[in-house]
Amino acid sequence: MKAAIIAGGFGKRLRPLTLEKPKPLVEVAGKPIIQWQIEWFKRYGVDTIVVLTGYLREKIIEFLGSGQKLGVNVVYVVEDEPLGTAGAIKNAEGVLSDSVFLAVNGDIITNIPLDKLVNDLIKSDALASIALVPLRSPYGIVEVDSEGNVKSFKEKPMIEEYLINAGVYAMKPQILQYLPRKGDLEKSVFPQLAKEGLLRGVIFKDVYWRAIDTVKDVEEVGKELSSKNIWCSK
């Protein structure tokens, strides 16, 4: 199976870390984000990684090479200008049009079980299944009783009743017909597929999932990954 890593963005919110390297090469707990992703994909039988790259692409190519050192085959598809998440995948149509494939945003570290996501898609008439995870509060939560007495503090809890797009997708090649040359999955493609009943959402609650958006995320996630084995359940 093939997996596409959407890795062409400038990573502006991670500056100065991304001034001389693209976001997928930012190190978290001693490994670049893209290496965490490839190791995750390999656990689910992915043997070909399609890197959708743009900004500082030569750095990614230098690090990954053919992919042999990480036990995969790496294919590069370059965008000469920012195309958005949908446009980046459309740009790789010639590589991804032969079978069901996976796609992930280039700033995600997770252990979501990909077999569950793929199986959900294959069993349905949908063109894509998206992984959904509970919203993590960016702030600590304070609980009070009816009289205003503080009862407890919870540091950045999961808010189970709200789900967010995890940036992890399984897709059938027919979805390529829906993708614009330039634009984002989240703003146009997914709403259209949902309207047509062609989009599935698969909920994952007991998984590790973090997006690396800021320097603070790098520090927080680095501590988390250094203290736990996120692969222990697989």
Active site residues: 156
- Helix, strand or coil, per DSSP, at residue 152: strand
**Bridge partners, residue 5, by sequence:** 51, 104
Residue type, 31: K
Tokens of 11: 């990573």
Helices (H) and strands (E) in the chain, counts: 7, 13
Phi/psi for 117 (5° steps) reads -65, -45
Q: Give the integer Cα–Cα distance in Å for 108 and 40.
A: 11
- Angle (deg, nearest 10), helices 57-64 and 33-42: 50
Question: What number of residues does the chain have?
Answer: 234
**Residues 52, 92: contact at Cβ < 8 Å?**
yes
Pairing of strands 108-110, 209-211: antiparallel
Contacts of 172 (CB under 8 A, 6+ apart): 100, 121, 126, 127, 128
Nearest C-alpha neighbor of 211 from the set 109, 103, 132: 109
d(CA 87, CA 183): 5
